[in-house]
Amino acid sequence: MEIIYTLNKLTEKLSQLRRKGLIGFVPTMGALHQGHISLVQRAASENDTVVVSIFVNPTQFNDKKDLERYPRNLEADIKLLSDQGCHVVFAPRVDEVYPEPDTRIFDFGHMDKVMEGKFRPGHFNGVAQVVSRLFDMVKPDRAYFGLKDFQQLAIIQNMVQQLQLPVEIVPCPIIREPNGLAMSSRNELLSCEERENAAEIFNMLSHAGEWSNSKSVHEVEKSIASGINRNPYLETEYVEIVDADTLEMVTDWQQPGRKVVCVAVWCGKVRLIDNYLIG
Q: pLDDT tens string for the chain (279 positions)?
A: 999 999 999 999 999 999 999 999 999 999 999 999 999 999 999 999 999 999 999 999 988 888 888 889 999 999 999 999 999 999 999 999 999 999 999 999 999 999 999 999 999 999 999 999 999 999 999 999 999 999 999 999 999 999 999 999 999 999 999 999 999 999 999 999 999 999 999 999 999 999 999 999 999 999 999 999 999 999 999 999 999 999 999 999 999 999 999 999 999 999 999 999 997
- Whole-structure pTM value: 0.95
Q: Yes or no: say if 26 and 131 are a contact pair by the CB < 8 Å rule.
A: no
Query: DSSP string spanning 86-151?
Result: --EEE---HHHH-SS--------TTTTTSTHHHHSTTHHHHHHHHHHHHHHHH--SEEEEETTSHH
Cα–Cα separations (whole angstroms), residue 168 to 40, 41, 82, 135, 204:
15, 17, 25, 11, 33
Q: Is residue 178 part of a domain?
A: no
The domain boundary, picked from 111, 145, 172, lies at 172
Per the annotation, the verdict on 110 as an active-site residue is no
Helices 150-163, 123-138: inter-axial angle, 10-degree rounding: 60
Assess whether 193 and 164 both reside in one domain.
no
Assess whether 20 and 134 both reside in one domain.
yes
> How many Cα atoms are found within 13 Å in the side-chain-facing hemisphere of 110?
8
Assess whether 122 and 9 both reside in one domain.
yes
Assess whether 148 and 190 both reside in one domain.
no
* Domains contained in the chain, number: 2
Q: How many residues are listed for the chain in this entry?
A: 279
Assess whether 166 and 217 both reside in one domain.
no
DSSP three-state, residue 227: helix
Q: Is residue 279 part of a domain?
A: no
Assess whether 157 and 213 both reside in one domain.
no
Which of 33, 36, 110, 123 is flagged as catalytic? 36
Assess whether 142 and 201 both reside in one domain.
no
Residue 201: its H or E element: helix 199-205
Assess whether 19 and 47 both reside in one domain.
yes
Assess whether 7 and 107 both reside in one domain.
yes
Give the range of the structural domain holding residue 247, as residue numbers without chain letter. Answer: 185-273
